[in-house]
Amino acid sequence: MLNQVVLVGRLTDEPNIVDIDDNKKKTVVNLAVNRPFKNSEGLYETDFIRCVLWNGIATNTKEYCHKGDIVGIKGRLQTSTYEENEEKKYLTEVIAERITFISSNKKEEKD
């Protein structure tokens, strides 16, 4: 069986690190990924996909990436459940195994 996802999109927010027990680091980013086709109104729609990055991947992303940067993420889908107001909710996330920094949205200053 195979569970593999490859995404290329823009970061919607600044990556933030959360320290977890046992010296683990985690960051959750949302990736804006444009659909490759137009809708009935002639516009491209965008999906916002929640991606979880752990430890070294999380630290490097926090250090080198910013809101608006284009990144590639390779990972796997993971579904979890939780209860809210006595109702069962489902959460699907991409667990990143690798990230590629494609382009920066940062404007360089000229001296």
Q: What is the pLDDT of residues 59-87, one digit of tens each?
A: 999 999 999 999 999 999 999 999 999 99
Work out the pLDDT band at 21, boundaries 50, 70, 90: confident
Give the mean model confidence (pLDDT) for residues 89-108. Answer: 88
Which structural domains are found in the chain, ordered by start?
A: 5-103 (2.40.50.140)
Whole-model pTM: value is 0.84
Q: How far apart are CA 79 and CA 94, in angstroms?
A: 9
Q: How far apart are CA 76 and CA 84, in angstroms?
A: 25
Work out the pLDDT band at 106, boundaries 50, 70, 90: low
